[in-house]
Chain A
């Protein structure tokens, strides 16, 4: 069965400092993993995805994530937080055919001035 665990429900950083949002996955086969962001009153937006190519994945807005099979992790990072990054972030694992998306519980990122 597929599942993801987001280790932090809330993360607070100061503007200009690095961001780390943690995600661990469980999968019975080689997974496809995604990070989505949800701003208030807006739809979920894809930040990046891993589908068995390069383990370091670069996404939009300066975000990137590294797939580590040995640690079953897919943590999201950004070198320097911006106020506009404040939002809810979801780590997602899909089944083989991309039919079912399994969402983590979400991490709310707060960026302080």
Chain B
């Protein structure tokens, strides 16, 4: 149980285009999901907390208008990288907390590798 999926697993796009990444909790409901960014040989950095039915909470230094987050249902959060540029190339990972056990671990998706040409 507690499986989180991400789609797509890899995406290559041209500079200036927008890319949408989906994060789904497959067998549980998640009011809260999280989006992380992982640079090569670096740790994961929390970008934002996605809350179902309300606005996302962004970490300091993360551009809200560039990284649009929508948490439309209890099993789906999306991250849209708008007007992507090569410096946005990275590995994006989402996680979700199971509503049944709110104060506990996060379950992570397999990640999406974004390459902006």
Q: How large is the interface on B (under 10, 10 to 19, 20 to 34, 35 or more residues)?
A: 20 to 34
What is the interface of chain B mostly: helix, strand, loop, or mixed? loop
Bound complex: CA A38 to CA B97 (Å):
18
| Interface-side segment among A12-20, A62-70, A77-85, A96-104 | A96-104
Measured CB to CB, the nearest residue on chain B to A46 is B105
How many contacting A-B pairs (Cβ < 8 A)?
45
Chain A interface: which size bin?
Answer: 20 to 34
**Cβ of B43 and Cβ of A103 under 8 Å apart?**
yes
Residues of A contacting B110 in the complex (Cβ-Cβ under 8 angstroms):
41-43
Is the CB of B76 closer than 8 A to any CB of chain A?
Answer: no
Query: Who on chain B is nearest to A49 by CB?
Result: B105
> In the bound complex, do residue A43 and residue B109 qualify as a contact, i.e. CB atoms below 8 Å apart?
yes
A75-113, CB < 8 A from B: 90, 97-106
A43 touches B97 (CB 8 A): no
CA–CA, A36 and B4, complex, Å? 15
Tell me which residues across on chain A come within 8 A of B34, comparing CB atoms.
Answer: 101
A25 is an interface residue with CB less than 8 A from chain B: no
Bound Cα distance from A11 to B104, whole angstroms: 29
Please indicate the chain B residues that have their CB under 8 angstroms from the CB of A101 in the complex. Answer: 34, 44, 46, 95, 106
B100 at the interface (CB under 8 A from A): no
CB–CB B49/A99 < 8 A: yes
Q: Which chain B residue has the least Cβ–Cβ distance from A108?
A: B41
Give every chain A residue within 8 A of B9 (Cβ-Cβ): 41
Question: Could you list which residues of chain A lie within 8 angstroms of chain B, going by C-beta atoms?
Answer: 34, 36, 41-46, 49, 90, 97-106
Given contacts A34-B105, A100-B46, 16 further A-B contacts (CB under 8 A): A36-B108, A41-B9, A42-B110, A43-B4, A43-B108, A43-B110, A44-B93, A45-B108, A46-B105, A90-B44, A98-B105, A100-B49, A101-B44, A102-B46, A105-B42, A106-B43
A-B contact pairs, 28 of them (CB 8 A): A34-B105, A36-B108, A41-B9, A41-B110, A42-B110, A43-B4, A43-B93, A43-B109, A44-B108, A45-B108, A98-B97, A98-B102, A98-B103, A98-B104, A98-B105, A98-B106, A99-B32, A100-B46, A101-B34, A101-B44, A101-B46, A101-B106, A102-B46, A103-B43, A104-B43, A105-B42, A105-B43, A106-B41
